[in-house]
Amino acid sequence: MFATCTQFAVDGAAAPLDAVHLTLMQHQTTRLNADGFPVIAVAYKDIAEPQSNYRNEDESDLTLLGYIAFLDPPKESAGVAIAALARSGVQVKILTSDNDIIARKICREVGVVTDDVLTGGDLDKMTDEELAQRLETATLCAKVSPAQKARIIAALHRRDHVVGFLGDGINDGPALKSADVGISVDTAVDIAKESADIILLEKSLTVLSEGVLEGRKIFGNIVKYIKMGASSNFGNMFSVLGASIFLPFLPMAPIQVLDQ
């Protein structure tokens, strides 16, 4: 937006947006971002005669009117859930279209370490193999597009990681489809819910950590049952196979084998 503005409004009067004022305004938006406020710049342009169609060239010589700053804090349960997932051996990575300043602030609040940050611009310069290697340490991917989110998940798959992705917006559709388990919420947009494998009805991220533990219990029980069934039926099946060599008929019919 700054690039399309040549003036800024102060008390109803317009003044030139020179390099000094531009630097001051950039510092102001940076301070707001550092406090966790996403910022939208608002600008206008007086057009003498309205047109039926507008082109990109018309978005020039704008007058900067001001900013809209809004706060979107993380849920109180987010930090607890992320800590619980870490204790369970689940790595949490943040993929966001917000800039890295805002993302770092939110990550600090929920306990995600951001020593290694990857941006969308950095991602475009990497090969698939370089990206896969970098994602082993990067915990925050900022200013990424929907296609880049899907590429990140594909890169994690190359390293044999099982990936779950949580998202609720239109931009999350490709990543939800690419993940092994796509997770959304009941208040998400329709395309996100349609792309997800699981929809959370409870508005708490602790459901994820609880779900991981319950899933591991179920998997463990399934493995135990398979082992128990295989060991108990091994003698029966071995006897049937051995007897079928000498007997001129089948010792057991297929349905009897299945019943065992």
Go through the domains of the chain in sequence order and give each one's CATH number: 2-47+57-69 (no CATH), 76-206 (3.40.50.1000)
Q: Residue 243: pLDDT above 80?
A: no
**What is residue 121's predicted lDDT score, i.e. its pLDDT?**
92
Q: Residue 252: pLDDT above 90?
A: no
**What is residue 82's predicted lDDT score, i.e. its pLDDT?**
92
Q: Residue 255: pLDDT above 80?
A: no
pTM, two decimal places: 0.74
168, 189 Cβ separation under 8 angstroms? yes
Closest C-alpha to 149, from 133, 135, 130: 135
Q: Residue 34: pLDDT above 90?
A: no
64, 17 Cβ separation under 8 angstroms? yes
Res. 259 pLDDT band, cuts 50 70 90: low
**What is residue 13's predicted lDDT score, i.e. its pLDDT?**
85
**What are the phi and psi torsion angles at 159 (to 5°)?**
-95, 15
Per-residue pLDDT reduced to its tens digit, 106-145? 898 899 999 899 999 999 999 999 999 999 999 999 999 9
Closest C-alpha to 184, from 162, 207, 216, 161: 207
Closest C-alpha to 205, from 187, 188, 183: 183
Per-residue pLDDT reduced to its tens digit, 158-178? 999 999 999 999 999 999 999
116, 137 Cβ separation under 8 angstroms? yes
Per-residue pLDDT reduced to its tens digit, 207-225? 988 999 999 999 999 999 8
Res. 46 pLDDT band, cuts 50 70 90: confident
